[in-house]
Structure 1
């Protein structure tokens, strides 16, 4: 009888145990993310000195991995890619969308977990980002307006800061909310025949993610 009571108590304790990570553990999360650029655009030089551009938001899935160096310090790598459209402003408004691009911004952050043994575990991090732009294309509207145009966006390196929260759903599964600010600066080059126009853009997106994670 005492053995049954002891086993039952152990099972209750195990079921109530938080999904916290210890040193050497790997946390894997799947998130849905909103990437919202807070862009600042230069002018389109030299042909459109009064014109600017704007970049739209994008929603996409994301996968991230956090390796716990200690029970408080973790290193997180995020992997995801989003598609964005570039629109004309201030003299290029009538064209609407002028280009599109895919963005791949692998980001590595070093995190501090404030309450590693709690069921609700906030963390903050700072790190490095390198952004690749690929499959850059001019829109039909731009091609029709100024001629066949090749678009190329320069890759970017910058910093990233984040804050987030894990909270337990089961002993191994937890929900996650995460917010990042990523420093991304690029120069778009538009080549139309022998003419080349350039515009500098600071994208600097805020990335909001919500998802589910597990511990290995």
Structure 2
């Protein structure tokens, strides 16, 4: 939760600074309207909202941070199709009441449709979206001294729906700051967790991903 608090502060600082930067550039005659492509580079924290049971034992899965990238095609000034994903892997520690038992990496990517409110040149542009995600899982490793020591762990790919809400803050007609939150809900019956080839539970994580970034449109 501390990492989420730090990122929230960073989001607020970015949103507070951007309108001042925009105000210094109001002399331009260029417009953001009609620009059909945008790219955003940022950083996000992924925090699971569910903790799975493995072999009847309740676990706690830690969140982590990673760089993210997105590219959007604006069909109109208000309607866009976005491809989004983690540029690096989120590393998760799996713990029980007796301590850490395993670790696993996940790398989500998604495609979604979005609606951006207000005109393209409005300083604040909230948006919402809905789409489909997959989260590749690898790097599964048991702790050498934990309850799963010496055993092989496998976790299937999570797939499902992703809901997005966020806001863009126009700095000038080309550059903007972004803050967003994404909820990834596995809708395929939850990926299986296997230990030595035997299914022992479901990896129901359904993370919330909180991100900030800087984008450019052209």
The normalised TM-score by structure 1 is 0.80
Gaps of 5+ in 2: 1-24
Counterpart of 1:3? none
User: Are 1:186 and 2:191 counterparts?
Assistant: yes
Which structure has the greater CA radius of gyration?
1
User: Are 1:152 and 2:163 counterparts?
Assistant: no
Alignment partners' CA distance in 1, 2:116 and 2:148: 53
Partner SS state of residue 191, structure 2:
strand
Give the ranges of 4+ consecutive aligned residues of structure 1 lying more than 3 Å apart after TM superposition.
none
Whether the aligned pair in 2 keeps the contact of 1:84 and 1:102 (CA below 8 Å) is yes
Q: CA deviation at 1:43?
A: 4.7
Whether the aligned pair in 2 keeps the contact of 1:168 and 1:174 (CA below 8 Å) is yes
Whether the aligned pair in 2 keeps the contact of 1:97 and 1:141 (CA below 8 Å) is no
Q: CA deviation at 1:13?
A: 4.2
Query: Across the two proteins, how many residue pairs are aligned to each other?
Result: 188
Counterpart of 1:125? 129
The normalised TM-score by structure 2 is 0.79
Counterpart of 1:57? 63
**2:82 maps to which of 71, 76, 81:** 76
Counterpart of 2:28? 14
Counterpart of 1:116? 119
Whether the aligned pair in 2 keeps the contact of 1:21 and 1:215 (CA below 8 Å) is no
Structure 1 residues 77 and 53, CA gap change in structure 2 (3 angstroms): same
Structure 1 residues 156 and 27, CA gap change in structure 2 (3 angstroms): same
Provide the aligned C-alpha RMSD in A. 2.0
Partner SS state of residue 115, structure 1:
coil
Gaps of 5+ in 1: 1-10
Q: CA deviation at 1:40?
A: 3.6
Structure 1 residues 21 and 101, CA gap change in structure 2 (3 angstroms): farther
Q: CA deviation at 1:70?
A: 1.4
